[in-house]
Amino acid sequence: MLFPRRLMQALLCAPVLGMAVPLVVHAQSAPPLSIEEAVALATTRAGNAETSHGAVEAAVQMAVAAGQLPDPVLKLGLNNVPVNGNDRFSLSRDFMTQRSVSVVQEFTRSDKRRARTDRYEAEAAAAEAQRAVSLANVQRSVATAWLDRWYAQQADVLLGHHGHPLELELQAAMAAYRSGRGTRADVLAAEMEIQKLQDRLDENRAAVDATRANLERWVGQAASRPLSERPGLVVPLRLQQLVQTELDALPEMAASQRQIALAEADIRAATENRKPDVTVELMYSQRGSAFSNMGSLNVSFPVPWDQGNRQDREVAAKLAQAQEARAKSEVIARNTRAMVAAKLAELQRNLDRLKRYDQNILPLANAQADAALTAYRANTGPLAAVAEANHRAIDTALERLTLEAKTAKLWADLTFLIPLPTAQTEPAVKELK
């Protein structure tokens, strides 16, 4: 089942500017779109369009066909018909002339048919493993798209919060100008800060529209719904357990192991091909009424006279392909382990940094902005210091939000290393279970 809803409610969005950033809620009747619902919708759409079951089904059907004997061959013949003399073109006067019908059957050895069946079953398993890789990629992509939109909206809210301090700055500048303590340049500078903030808001709203369009690619019209709260940035227990044991359950690693199994099945099939099969022909021949009818039994089989340059080389080629598959699997295993370890470490570092932002950096930036504005009102500090402090407060808050967004994407990459169970993550062919 999908990860517990309580993870969706455990919000770790730290306070910004001394208060929690509220999620923008649109006055719409549609329920909020959660990240888990977005993942389920995208997986369903991918199951119908991008990760077709066709490759798996095709291999399973070929596995059944490969286990059967070849079709028998029916042969009709007209043999030893005279072409000159008094009996030319006669079908009954010459004792050698005969009309024949025969059935030819190649008896492919059972071991060879079993090897071919195993080969296609291994191909079906490899295709199924690749489906899991595709589904995991889809789920990571839609989770990232959902988080991109969520954080774009949070940036919009955050920038909106800074409009009030800038309005206070403008009011203070106008009051000082009217009382003769300030200059017209201070008023214009404050108005310029407000316009710059508006420009940043416009730029961010364009980013909100872009992220909504990207999310729509994955979930369709559901992207127009408001978003729910994001999940807590906690590494799933199942991934922690995998890291502590083995990572073979990850789709990329499982797929590489399936490729090795397919290559080994190819080796067995090529080895069995070295042994020739027997073909049996049963013939019934009819001659003229004055002569006896005749029956024949023929047995034939290939003669591998140059096995070293044909069958043996085919086996050698399959052995080389298997070695290549093992080498690729080892590279994937090393890279995956290093990637997971690096992302887990970076996630923990980022969580520590976010805590530092919340406890120290953001309060200091906000206090500095408040102190600069107070000093300007008391005519003990310049307006430029107020503008600089406000800029620093805005930039610091955005830096913190950017860091949180990066951390959330790390969380998504780790959470969806293994695709969450849905109807589309079930094996494409039940017999493969």
CA distance 43 to 420: 9
Average pLDDT in the 79-108 region?
87
Pairing relation of β-strands 278-286 and 98-107?
Answer: antiparallel
Pairwise pLDDT comparison (324 vs 380), residue with the higher score: 324
Lowest mean pLDDT among 114-128, 156-170, 207-221, 328-342: 156-170
- Which run of H or of E encompasses 245? none
The pLDDT value given to residue 50:
54
Q: pLDDT band at 47, cuts 50/70/90?
A: low
pLDDT tens across 129-158, in order? 988 898 899 999 999 999 999 999 999 888
pLDDT tens across 393-409, in order? 888 999 999 999 999 99
Average pLDDT in the 345-373 region?
91
The pLDDT value given to residue 320:
96
Q: Highest mean pLDDT: which of 35-44, 260-269, 290-299, 412-421?
A: 260-269
Pairwise pLDDT comparison (277 vs 51), residue with the higher score: 277
Q: Spell 201-218 as b/e; 16+ CB within 10 A means b.
A: beebeebbeebbebbeeb
Bridge partner list, 101: 76, 284
Lowest mean pLDDT among 99-108, 279-288, 387-396: 387-396
Mean pLDDT of the chain: 83
The pLDDT value given to residue 245:
65
Asked if residue 25 has pLDDT above 60, the reply is: no
Pairwise pLDDT comparison (258 vs 307), residue with the higher score: 258
Average pLDDT in the 16-36 region?
55
Residues whose CB is less than 8 angstroms from the CB of residue 237 and which lie 6 or more positions away in sequence, other chains included: none
Asked if residue 302 has pLDDT above 60, the reply is: yes
Asked if residue 260 has pLDDT above 50, the reply is: yes
- In the three-class reduction of DSSP (H, G, I as helix; E, B as strand; rest coil), residue 251 is classed as helix
Identify the DSSP state of 283.
E
The pLDDT value given to residue 169:
73
Contact in structure between 114 and 269 (CB atoms under 8 Å) = no
CA distance 244 to 246: 7
CA distance 243 to 245: 5
The pLDDT value given to residue 170:
80
Angstrom CA distances, 65 to 90, 114, 121, 258, stand at 45, 11, 11, 21
CA distance 185 to 383: 10
Cα of 407 vs its chain's centroid, Å: 20
Neighbours of 264 (CB within 10 A): 19
Asked if residue 259 has pLDDT above 60, the reply is: yes
CA distance 112 to 276: 10
Looking at the domain 5-432, which fold is it? Outer membrane efflux proteins (OEP) (1.20.1600)
Annotated domain spans of the chain: 5-432
Average pLDDT in the 206-211 region?
93
The pLDDT value given to residue 29:
67
The closest of 157, 144, 151 to 35, measured between CA atoms, is: 144
- In the three-class reduction of DSSP (H, G, I as helix; E, B as strand; rest coil), residue 14 is classed as coil
**Neighbouring C-alpha atoms within 13 Å toward the C-beta of 426:** 8
Of all residues in the chain, what percent carry a pLDDT higher than 90? 43
The pLDDT value given to residue 382:
81
- Which run of H or of E encompasses 36? helix 35-49
Asked if residue 267 has pLDDT above 90, the reply is: yes
- Which run of H or of E encompasses 284? strand 278-286
The pLDDT value given to residue 332:
92
Residues whose CB is less than 8 angstroms from the CB of residue 426 and which lie 6 or more positions away in sequence, other chains included: none
Q: pLDDT band at 246, cuts 50/70/90?
A: low
In this prediction the pTM is: 0.77
Contact in structure between 201 and 394 (CB atoms under 8 Å) = no
Asked if residue 237 has pLDDT above 70, the reply is: yes
Q: Highest mean pLDDT: which of 20-34, 187-201, 296-310?
A: 296-310
Asked if residue 12 has pLDDT above 70, the reply is: no
Reading the block at residue 81, the tokens are 């018909």
Asked if residue 24 has pLDDT above 70, the reply is: no
The pLDDT value given to residue 201:
87
Of all residues in the chain, what percent carry a pLDDT higher than 70? 87
Give the chain's largest Cα–Cα span: 140
Q: pLDDT band at 68, cuts 50/70/90?
A: very high
Q: Where are the alpha helices (DSSP H) in 279-425?
A: 311-356, 362-377, 383-415
Lowest mean pLDDT among 85-94, 99-108, 363-372: 85-94
**Which residue in this structure is represented by tokens 């997971």?**
340
